[in-house]
Structure 1
Amino acid sequence: MERVTDLASKKAAVIFTKSSCCMCHSIKQLFYELGASPAIHELDQYADGREMEYALRGLQGRNPSVPAVFIGGKYVGSAKDIISLHVDGSLKQKLIDARAIWF
C-alpha cells in the first residue's frame, strides 16, 4: 500500500489501470477530454503490479481493483464513482481544486 500511496501523491491526478481494461481506457479518455494529464500507472507493466492491485482492492473493498483514481492524493473511486462525479458536474471542479486542470 505504501507504493500506491507514494505514486498517488506525486501528481494532481493519478489513475491506476491495466492495459487490457476497457473501463480504464474510458476513464483515461474522460480525463484527457477534461484537459487533465493524469499520471497513468499500468499495473500489468510493473513487476510488483499484482501486489499494488491487491492493495487497491483492499482500499476499494470490492472487485475490480482498476481503474482506481486519485485526485489531489486522495482516493476518489473506481470507474462507477468517476462517471457519477462527471454526470453530476463535480469531477471537473475536483480536478480544478487539485490543480490538475486550470481555467
Structure 2
Amino acid sequence: MSTTVAELIRQNKVVVFSWVHCPFCTRAKSILTSATKDVRVYECDQMANGEDLRHQILKAYQHETVPAIFINGEFVGGCSDLEAMQKSGDLAKRLA
C-alpha cells in the first residue's frame, strides 16, 4: 500500500512537496527551516512514488506546481503564498 499525501500531512506539522533543483522550492525550504525545525520535505523528483504524490495534490488541491506547502494539516500554497504569509506575520502565527 502506498503512502498518501493525507497521511504525510497528518504525520508532520509542516510538509513541503518539492523538487531538488527548483529555485522556488529552495526558497520555500529556506524560509520554513529558518522559522521552525519541524519541517518535513519530500523531494518528489527523487521518490519512486513522487509523481503519484504530485497527482494526489493536483486532484485534492488543484495545485499543479512545486512546492506544495502544508502547515498544521492545511494547504497554504506555493512559494509566493508562503512569502506573503511571512511578510504579513501569518507564518509566525501558524507556526507558534
Query: 1:67 maps to what in 2?
Result: 67
Question: Which 4+ stretches in 1 moved above 3 angstroms?
Answer: none
TM-score, length of structure 1 as denominator length: 0.82
Q: Which moved more, 1:82-91 or 1:31-40?
A: 31-40
Change (3 A) 1:7 1:50: same
Q: Which letter does structure 1 place at the counterpart of 2:74?
A: K
Aligned length: 94
Whether the aligned pair in 2 keeps the contact of 1:67 and 1:79 (CA below 8 Å) is yes
For the aligned residue pairs, the C-alpha RMSD in angstroms reads: 1.5
Whether the aligned pair in 1 keeps the contact of 2:17 and 2:69 (CA below 8 Å) is yes
Unaligned 5+ runs, structure 1: 97-103
Q: Which letter does structure 2 place at the counterpart of 1:57?
A: L
Q: Percent identity?
A: 26
1:58-95: CA deviation from partner (whole Å, max 9, x where unpaired):
3342432x111111112111112111111111111101
**What aligned pairs does 1:14-33 form with structure 2 within 5 A after superposition?**
14-33=15-34
The offset of 1:36, in angstroms, is 3.2
Whether the aligned pair in 1 keeps the contact of 2:12 and 2:38 (CA below 8 Å) is no
Query: 2:42 maps to what in 1?
Result: 41
Change (3 A) 1:92 1:36: farther
